[in-house]
Structure 1
Amino acid sequence: MTSQTHDQKRLDWEIGDPERAWTLPSRYFFDPAIYAREVEEIVHKSWHCAAHASEVEEPGQFVKFDIDKQSVLIVRADDGEVYAYHNVCKHRGTQLIQERRGQVRQMITCPYHAWSYALDGSLKIAPRTQELKGFDAGEFPLSAVRVEKYAGFYFINMDADARPLAEEADGAEEAMRAFFPDLDDLVFEEEVDMIVDVNWKTIIDNEIEGYHFQLSGPVHKEISRLIDFKGYSMTPHPRWWDFKGPPKKVEKAFGHEIAGAHFQTDWFYNVTLWPMTTLYTFPYSDVIGTFNKMPLGPEKTLLRFGHYRPRARKPGALSRAVIDWFNTQLGPEDIDLNVMVQKGVHSLGFDQGRYVIDEARSANSEHLVHHFHTLVYRALSGDTTPLRSAEAAE
């Protein structure tokens, strides 16, 4: 058996008619070889939300973004531009910065041998290299990473040939601005990291289907009481998807009075940009959340929940309650569900199941999961042809 044939057999899956299709085989959720291919073809070739613009407003302000074994610095330079660099010294490969956020003065200095780089990435100081034969500091700038501003956030991509994010996520910014009125004027509020023994796709599968919402744990049922599921919609687009639900008429949410509270929207709104960046807000919350699923291995993922508030006001009691509820109740309940799935896919009694997809693509349908799996399969199979809107809706 040739290597190519062996790899194709490992990846084999029939996309099929969504209403009759079988899910991705279990091996997609733990096979080290498939995971290695995902890192190469998906993680390293996709856009990732790294920082809000407000986090790098001043020269020298930086945010460090790590994913898989890659570390990237996003920094504003003296010329006012925002740059992204691989977080590594060009001398011996030392990681330059360990802090998640911060501000440097004038230069980024390696902690090992004090090679120092200007904020535009150029090497300015390299001790004891003046007498080296043929040494040219101009040959050792920091390695640049693609960075683009989109919907108030900076995204990075390690693929120099990647399509612009505005093309990849065409229509997403317009959609989210209807629910995020303060998107451009946010400041960082808090961040919570959780490492779970689960494949990154398991996390996304759970996030993007409404089937379990009214059927699983008590916390999901609690949020369901705020959402009018008759108007709930889940819409796939070629490289992004969103789901939203109008509010029920209630006087209290998350234990607090709604009257007089500030909030982004009274709707439940969630938008995911391929492959693993989510922005969301819960009903009556005055914060916008970011949710990055960051693979650490075939069965280990860092979940990073960031919350950003309008610059003009701090979260009120209701919004604070939403954040605490998410961090201490909904998040852990979802993680428990994901861990149970991850354990189950190893069973000899299971390989593939049926998507529950109805013709109406209702609130209880799993059509977004099928859409996501299709994008995964296409990426791993080398099919980079962009989906059309009509294909995404299938």
Structure 2
Amino acid sequence: MEQAGQDRTDPDAGWSLPAWTYADAEFFGVEVDRIFRPSWQIVAHESDLAASGDFQRLDYIGESVLIIRGDDGVVRGFTNVCRHRGARIVDEASGCAKKLVCPYHGWTYETDGRLTGVPMKASYGAGFDLADHGLVPVEVESWQGFLFVRLEDDGGPSVAQMMAPYAQDIAPYRFADLRALGRVTVRPRAVNWKNIGDNYSDGLHIAVAHPGLKRLMGDGYGVEASPHADKMWGAILDRPSANLSERAYQHFLPPVPHLPPDRQRLWTYFKLWPNFAFDIYPDQVDFMQWLPVSPTQTLIREISYALPDDRRDMKAARYLNWRINRQVNAEDTELVGRVQAGMASASFTVGPLSEQEVALRHFCGRVRDLIPEARQHHAPGMGWSKLA
């Protein structure tokens, strides 16, 4: 396994975050404010909003956000909240609307967020100005065709800056030309969001808990960390797997004309701060996002994208990819459940981290920097966040 970016200056660098931070309600509230409100969240791909009025909705940390393509072709983001009484405007996860009309009192907004219709407008008084009550905007970034939102700007980097160290890795995959293979799926998990992210960039468990990946990649799985993203990768071996689906994937995966030789059989994963990732295969690209619901509840949101390719071999490879990774996901679900359950024991506080666990070390260090109380092995007294 390869590693990079280790921080030897943090005295806690060799230790995991304490167990209490994976279940504590007060700590979770601080995470929402310090980690999630200023962070970028992936919503959709530009191609999912092809026409004027096309929209996608993302709900997380108590907020509901809409991104919508305006009549001028620009994608904008807004909170999904009417400015009259705070009612949610849109219920659908995606769709198309020429105007956004609140179902409570009929206030009407344009696709650029302007308020243009208010029943009984005169009754609000002479000083009431429609221009003062448009939808509240949120920041939107388009990077390589994918669309992201951010609730608060704390001066942190753009997605493009976060991924700058890996620009050459991404370039051959033609992200901007991707199209959805299916629909977004959302799966609940009774674990803390950090457990899902920790597991995603943990390379040590591959050989132990994922026999399929071990058969496909042997000892060739690598992990490294950069300031805002982790990279994991493994090349698919030429040696046929003993598993039927894996062996068939090895057989059917066709040459991909736009990829260089070293990427024809390479699986690469990028985990971006704090809670989403891209799984990049020769045959498709998936994004995966783990959205916190409570200290011990998380929603996994994911969808696959690919370049148009009608070859029978490619269709077979994509189906087999799904079969292989469905098994990997089932294995991971069992693993993170084990960890969440074990962390409830009073016998466990923190665990030592191998120098090979470079991504986990980096993540824990960043959380400790933002929330110094995470250095304490036991939960502080109630109300600590008000004093911090």
> Structure 1 residue 289 and structure 2 residue 286: aligned?
yes
Q: CA deviation at 1:197?
A: 0.7
Q: CA deviation at 1:296?
A: 0.2
Tell me: CA distance 1:46–1:313, structure 2 relative to 1, closer, same or farther (3 Å): farther
Tell me: CA distance 1:332–1:47, structure 2 relative to 1, closer, same or farther (3 Å): same
> Structure 1 residue 243 and structure 2 residue 232: aligned?
yes
Q: Retained in 2: the 8 A contact 1:262–1:316?
A: no
Q: Tell me which residue corresponds to 2:175.
A: 183
Q: Tell me which residue corresponds to 1:226.
A: 216
- The aligned length equals 352
Tell me: CA distance 1:172–1:147, structure 2 relative to 1, closer, same or farther (3 Å): farther
Look up the equivalent residue of 2:196 and give its one-letter code.
I
Tell me: CA distance 1:313–1:169, structure 2 relative to 1, closer, same or farther (3 Å): farther
Look up the equivalent residue of 2:231 and give its one-letter code.
D
What does residue range 108-119 of structure 1 map to in structure 2 within 5 Å?
A: 108-119=100-111
Q: Retained in 1: the 8 A contact 2:192–2:340?
A: yes
Q: CA deviation at 1:313?
A: 4.3
What does residue range 1-394 of structure 1 map to in structure 2 within 5 Å?
A: 15-16=10-11, 18=13, 21-105=14-98, 107-133=99-125, 134-166=127-159, 168-172=161-165, 174-178=167-171, 181-190=173-182, 191-216=184-209, 220-230=210-220, 232-250=221-239, 254-256=246-248, 258-259=251-252, 261=254, 265-282=264-281, 285-313=282-310, 316-327=315-326, 329-357=327-355, 365-381=356-372
Tell me: CA distance 1:101–1:250, structure 2 relative to 1, closer, same or farther (3 Å): farther
Q: Retained in 2: the 8 A contact 1:23–1:352?
A: yes
Q: Distance in 2 between matches of 1:334 and 1:251?
A: 24
Q: CA deviation at 1:355?
A: 0.6
Spell out structure 1 runs of 4+ moving beyond 6 A.
Answer: none
Q: Retained in 1: the 8 A contact 2:240–2:247?
A: no
Tell me: CA distance 1:326–1:316, structure 2 relative to 1, closer, same or farther (3 Å): same
Look up the equivalent residue of 1:81 and give its one-letter code.
V
Q: CA deviation at 1:95?
A: 0.6
Q: Retained in 2: the 8 A contact 1:176–1:271?
A: no
Please report the RMSD computed on the Cα atoms of aligned residues, expressed in angstroms: 2.2
Provide Cα deviations, 1:90-122, integer angstroms capped at 9, x if missing partner.
Answer: 1111111111111112x1111111111001100
Q: Retained in 2: the 8 A contact 1:46–1:158?
A: yes
Q: Distance in 2 between matches of 1:144 and 1:62?
A: 14
Match of 1:89, SS?
coil
Match of 1:63, SS?
strand
Tell me: CA distance 1:27–1:210, structure 2 relative to 1, closer, same or farther (3 Å): same
Look up the equivalent residue of 2:175 and give its one-letter code.
L
Q: Distance in 1 between matches of 2:276 and 2:145?
A: 14
Query: Which structure shows the higher helix fraction?
Result: 2
Consecutive unaligned residues of structure 2, counting only runs of 5 or more, are 1-8, 374-388
Q: Distance in 1 between matches of 2:165 and 2:145?
A: 13
Consecutive unaligned residues of structure 1, counting only runs of 5 or more, are 1-13, 358-364, 383-394
Match of 1:55, SS?
helix
Q: Distance in 2 between matches of 1:97 and 1:241?
A: 35
Q: Retained in 2: the 8 A contact 1:254–1:318?
A: no
Q: Tell me which residue corresponds to 1:390.
A: none
Q: CA deviation at 1:373?
A: 0.8
Q: Distance in 1 between matches of 2:169 and 2:279?
A: 9
Q: Retained in 1: the 8 A contact 2:232–2:268?
A: yes
Look up the equivalent residue of 2:341 and give its one-letter code.
K
Match of 2:136, SS?
coil
Q: CA deviation at 1:317?
A: 1.2
Provide Cα deviations, 1:222-263, integer angstroms capped at 9, x if missing partner.
Answer: 122111424x32111111111112231145763525356355
Q: CA deviation at 1:318?
A: 1.5
Q: Retained in 2: the 8 A contact 1:262–1:286?
A: no
Tell me: CA distance 1:260–1:369, structure 2 relative to 1, closer, same or farther (3 Å): closer
Q: Distance in 2 between matches of 1:306 and 1:175?
A: 23
Q: Distance in 1 between matches of 2:304 and 2:165?
A: 20
Look up the equivalent residue of 1:72 and give its one-letter code.
V
Q: Retained in 1: the 8 A contact 2:253–2:283?
A: no
Q: CA deviation at 1:187?
A: 1.2
Provide Cα deviations, 1:293-340, integer angstroms capped at 9, x if missing partner.
Answer: 10000000001121112135486012112123323x211210111011
Higher relative contact order (CA 8 A, sep 6+): 2
- Tell me the TM-score normalised to structure 1 length: 0.84
